[in-house]
Structure 1
Amino acid sequence: MGSSQADVGTPVVLLVEDDDGDALLVTELLADAEITVDLRRARSVEEAEAVLAHEDVECLLLDLGLPDAAGLDALERLRTFAAERSDPPALVVLTGNADAGQGVRAVAAGADDYLVKGETDPTLLARSLRYALQRRHAVTQRRALFRSEVRAAETARLERALLPTPLVADKHVSVMVGYLPGRDGLLGGDFFDTVERADGTVLSVIGDVAGHGPDEAALGATLRTAWRTLVLTDTPSTMILPLLERVLLAERATPEVFVTICQLVVEPGRRAVDVYLAGHPAPLLITGPVGGVRCTELVPSARGRALGIPVDGGWRAQRLEVDGPFSVVLYTDGLVEAEVTPEAASVLPRQGAPRLGVAGLRRVFDEALASEFSGVVSRVLRRVRELHGGPLADDAALLSVGWTADAEIIGERSSTLADSAEWTR
């Protein structure tokens, strides 16, 4: 107690008292009390404000008769100054024998407790400080919980914004999307969207902004909006990625930020799909009729650089010829980089593989497609989380875009968010 540097876990108490005799009395009472504190002293409100500005004070012991403020004025000044801190200190006032009523008024004005100097003993002082400190701790916990709940609500709203409503008129086109937030609670920059143009061309995109946090999530939302705008204004497919890169260069916070993207262009006749890869994992292709569906991995032949990387090279399409019903599955690397628990490693194509990998994801799709195609995105996301043993370390997005090829079969439209009530059930 009274050292110049507080021990770890020892609360710092600031005594604001101009009378040396009363200050000595408080020091002696604390020495005999069953509580350990690091006692500091200020002789005026001005000195107390200087200490509060630079040190983490947990409790104020305030005399109500100071040279630069008297009575409740001193209390109000210090409460107002301390309120600017994220965790304001507790406050116990000291009054003289003739001013006990003022102590009651001080508590009504916001003090945690009051002590009458001539009636205070070590036990009473220790109890008052302990109460004030515990009350401060409880208030701090409630404040932290409130902030956490607010952040969680804001995060949930932003996550739902990452599940845009597809603008697709063709009822035979399936669009299934899903998003899994990472377990660290930080939003990532995954984004995706699907839009059908007036001529029947269907364009889809999935992207991943490097990094995690609100800046990356905001950048991802900006790029998705820019992509949708370019599509709706009939920008040629070959020009979308170059123009999107210009938006990235203008909006990113630092030159190190880059974005990987996979863009699909499904022609109006639904017989061909152009795939544009900008440093992004290649998609999976699901083909075949009900009962004979198979999932294959696309072998990329036209992979381009990620957006924002200062090297030469652009992006060209890799054409896929399709005949009959199909679905192209786009995903972000949070899925394939999911670590698999030892108990679940036997389901992977390669024994002992620490990560799911593209081959593992394809096997998960094979399992999910064995029953039916409907709801496959939700089942795959659940299965990946199960293999991982809980929420993924990184956020992950999954987008399946396809065509039923049958006038009697309507395409499925669905979205899955990991923290939704439906997912929890």
Structure 2
Amino acid sequence: MPVPVPRQRETPATESGQAVLPQASLTLLVIEDDPAGGLTVPEILDADRHRIRLRTARNLTEASRLLTPDVHCILLDLALPRGGAGSRNAGGAAAEPDTDTADQLDTLRQVLRIAPRHAVLVLTAEADAERAAEAVRVGAQDFLFRDELDGRLLSRAIRYAVERKRADIAQYKLAESKLRAQENARLERGLLPTPLLEGSDLRFAARYRPGRSRALLGGDFYDTVRTPDGTVHAMIGDVCGHGPDEAALGVELRIAWRALTLAGLCGDDLLATLQEVLEVERPCEEIFATLCTVDISPDGRRAGLCLAGHPAPLVSRPGRPAQLLPYENSGPALGLLPKARWPRRQVELGGAWSLMLYTDGLIEGRVGDGRERLGQDGMVEMINRHLERGLSGEALLEASVTEARRLNGGELTDDVAVVLLSRSTL
């Protein structure tokens, strides 16, 4: 039976021979197997009185070819033979599908597979209301009865179907985004370290912000562990660059550092082995990494410091302003010089103190009108202001990163990692 779909009027042409169509017009792809077209309604108009453009395909092969991005909606005749082959008998009448062995909605499922982002309407006889309802459950936006169809009804059905499909896609994207965020949070918890400080009287806090938009991790990395002898080892590092390869290398270096530290390596021996790991794992020879390692004695009053091209930590004590630990005679970044050495310096911490390790993302943000950077001196002043307000631990780190972003005039472009170890016993 011919599908009563509106015939297109002739469209005026420009001098170049191209049709002039309304800018906001919709396009409907009709899939039906009547070779004569069967387009009997004069025209269909959208809500703005723009004519809806029509394309007609006799089977799914033609439909796939005509399914260009400017098609907004598909009207499928459910009487189309199974598979959409458009076959007819010798008299020209439509061949009846084998309903005993064939799923009458198989063609609809094929349409939904080849056009997952398009609104789909189905056309059927009023006697097939149950099958029409099943078509909606399968994935069609709506169904229309062939005997009741006219231009006004079809126009309204197209508009509603397009809007429902847009709403469905938006809802799907929202749900997908929530699932991705949950998955990313679980992945991030797995990639970022859990400090191993059981048995220690030190308090631990950290803040981490990747510089890349929507990234889980950047090239910055950190870790803290306590070895059986009671020594607490802390580390923070920065792989040059901001891509996923650098982030992956940072994770590898962190895991290697933890394994080597728990195996008993420290200071120069540890850094030399980490350089070998970097040289093997880095994607190109230009990649290097800066590193700061601190090993705090079991009594918590002394620490050994090694710097591999990394900014020196900041120490604060009660009643005294925060200051940078000595950083003379530091070694080069990992991966720059073969057979390099990294001297270990002993520093006195005292009874109560806080030790802050950080990456250069915190100090390289802009300040003022954007012509100068915060720098280490600016960071020390900022930390002292927050200490005078009585901030400590997580609150101190959050306030510091937030102020660095504010001074920068927006998000910091580099990765930022900050670790704070504190001891309150005198």
- The structural deviation recorded for 1:44 is 0.8
Q: What are the within-5 Å matches in structure 2 for residues 232-247 of structure 1?
A: 232-247=262-277
Q: What are the within-5 Å matches in structure 2 for residues 305-320 of structure 1?
A: 305-307=333-335, 312=338, 314-320=340-346
Structure showing greater radius of gyration is 2
Q: Secondary structure at the match of 2:251?
A: helix
- The structural deviation recorded for 1:61 is 1.5
Pair 184,284 (structure 1): closer, same or farther in 2 beyond 3 Å: same
Q: Give the letter for the 1:164 counterpart.
A: T
Q: Secondary structure at the match of 1:336?
A: coil
| C-alpha distance in 1 between matches for 2:127 and 2:299 | 94
- The structural deviation recorded for 1:231 is 0.7
Answer yes or no: is the 8 Å Cα contact 1:93–1:114 preserved in 2.
yes
Corresponding position of 1:206: 236
Corresponding position of 1:79: 112
Q: Give the letter for the 1:243 counterpart.
A: T
Corresponding position of 1:126: 155
Answer yes or no: is the 8 Å Cα contact 1:29–1:121 preserved in 2.
no
**Structure with higher RCO (Cα < 8 A, 6+ apart):** 1
- Higher helix fraction: Structure 1 or Structure 2? 1
Q: What are the within-5 Å matches in structure 2 for residues 105-254 of structure 1?
A: 105-161=134-190, 162-167=192-197, 169-171=199-201, 173-180=202-209, 184-189=213-218, 190-212=220-242, 217-248=247-278, 251=281
Pair 237,37 (structure 1): closer, same or farther in 2 beyond 3 Å: farther
- Which residue among 289, 292, 313 is the counterpart of 2:320? 292
| 1:28-50 Cα shifts (integer Å, max 9, x gaps) | 53468835656444321233345
| C-alpha distance in 2 between matches for 1:100 and 1:22 | 25
Pair 256,296 (structure 1): closer, same or farther in 2 beyond 3 Å: closer
Q: Once the two structures are aligned, what percentage of the paired residues are identical?
A: 37
Corresponding position of 2:376: 358
Q: Secondary structure at the match of 2:152?
A: helix
Higher mean C-alpha displacement, 221-230 vs 95-104:
95-104
| C-alpha distance in 2 between matches for 1:219 and 1:145 | 32
Corresponding position of 1:330: 357
Is 1:66 matched up with 2:90? no
Higher mean C-alpha displacement, 161-170 vs 253-262:
253-262
Answer yes or no: is the 8 Å Cα contact 2:205–2:420 preserved in 1.
yes
Q: Give the letter for the 1:125 counterpart.
A: L
Answer yes or no: is the 8 Å Cα contact 1:283–1:328 preserved in 2.
no
Answer yes or no: is the 8 Å Cα contact 2:306–2:345 preserved in 1.
no
| C-alpha distance in 2 between matches for 1:23 and 1:256 | 68
Gaps of 5+ in 2: 1-7, 12-17, 85-96, 98-103
- The structural deviation recorded for 1:233 is 1.0
- The structural deviation recorded for 1:262 is 2.0
Corresponding position of 1:89: 118
Pair 19,298 (structure 1): closer, same or farther in 2 beyond 3 Å: farther
TM-score relative to the length of structure 1: 0.74
| 1:370-412 Cα shifts (integer Å, max 9, x gaps) | 24473333442343344446654444211133555xxx44xxx
Pair 176,105 (structure 1): closer, same or farther in 2 beyond 3 Å: closer
| C-alpha distance in 1 between matches for 2:277 and 2:25 | 52
Q: Secondary structure at the match of 1:264?
A: strand
Answer yes or no: is the 8 Å Cα contact 1:45–1:66 preserved in 2.
no
Higher mean C-alpha displacement, 262-271 vs 5-14:
5-14
Higher mean C-alpha displacement, 95-104 vs 370-379:
95-104
Pair 158,260 (structure 1): closer, same or farther in 2 beyond 3 Å: farther
Q: Secondary structure at the match of 1:358?
A: helix
Pair 180,14 (structure 1): closer, same or farther in 2 beyond 3 Å: same
Q: Give the letter for the 2:365 counterpart.
A: A
Is 1:17 matched up with 2:32? yes
Q: Give the letter for the 1:91 counterpart.
A: V
Gaps of 5+ in 1: 346-350, 410-425
Pair 103,323 (structure 1): closer, same or farther in 2 beyond 3 Å: closer
Q: Give the letter for the 1:317 counterpart.
A: P
- The structural deviation recorded for 1:221 is 3.4
| C-alpha distance in 2 between matches for 1:41 and 1:17 | 7
Answer yes or no: is the 8 Å Cα contact 1:29–1:125 preserved in 2.
no
Pair 150,295 (structure 1): closer, same or farther in 2 beyond 3 Å: same
Corresponding position of 2:312: 283
- The structural deviation recorded for 1:367 is 0.8
Pair 102,29 (structure 1): closer, same or farther in 2 beyond 3 Å: farther
| 1:299-343 Cα shifts (integer Å, max 9, x gaps) | 443241244x5x546341251432624544211232223344xxx
Q: Secondary structure at the match of 2:320?
A: coil
Pair 220,32 (structure 1): closer, same or farther in 2 beyond 3 Å: closer
- The structural deviation recorded for 1:261 is 2.3
Q: Secondary structure at the match of 1:294?
A: strand
Q: Count residues in correspondence.
A: 386
Pair 253,9 (structure 1): closer, same or farther in 2 beyond 3 Å: farther
TM-score relative to the length of structure 2: 0.74
Corresponding position of 1:417: none
